């Protein structure tokens, strides 16, 4: 069996629609520059009120395969 190492980073996604959309945007954007993205774990959700509008924010930990 081949051994692997994974790196975990924190990212934040935002959306005017929902927390689910904020998470989707974050993962889709991260996957464009991170190869072999494996897992996304929601760590925190909040709402920012900006000019009378709600901005949904999701903080995620994402893991991807570490390559040397």
Q: Please state, rounded to an integer, the average pLDDT across all residues of the chain.
A: 93
Per the DSSP assignment, residues forming a β-bridge with 42 are: 60
Q: Could you tell me the pTM of the whole model?
A: 0.84
Query: Per-domain residue ranges for the chain?
Result: 6-63
CA dist., res. 38 & res. 64, Å (int)? 5
Backbone torsion region of residue 67, taken as left when φ is above 0, otherwise alpha when ψ lies between -120 and 50, otherwise beta? beta
The per-residue pLDDT for 66 is 81
CA dist., res. 18 & res. 35, Å (int)? 26
Instruction: Burial-class residue 27 by CB neighbours within 10 Å (0-12, 13-18, 19+).
Output: middle
Percent of the chain with pLDDT over 70: 97
Indicate if the pLDDT at residue 68 is higher than 70.
no
The per-residue pLDDT for 1 is 58
Q: What is the rounded average pLDDT of the residues 20-44? A: 94
For domain 6-63, give the CATH number: 3.30.1660.10
DSSP character at residue 51: T
């Amino acid at each position: 069996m081949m051994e692997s190492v994974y790196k975990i980073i924190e990212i934040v996604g935002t959306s005017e629609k929902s927390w689910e959309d904020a998470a989707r945007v974050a993962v889709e954007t991260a996957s464009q520059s991170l190869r072999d993205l494996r897992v996304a774990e929601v760590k925190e959700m909040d709402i920012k009120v900006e000019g009378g509008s709600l901005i949904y924010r999701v903080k995620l930990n994402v893991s991807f395969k570490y390559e040397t």
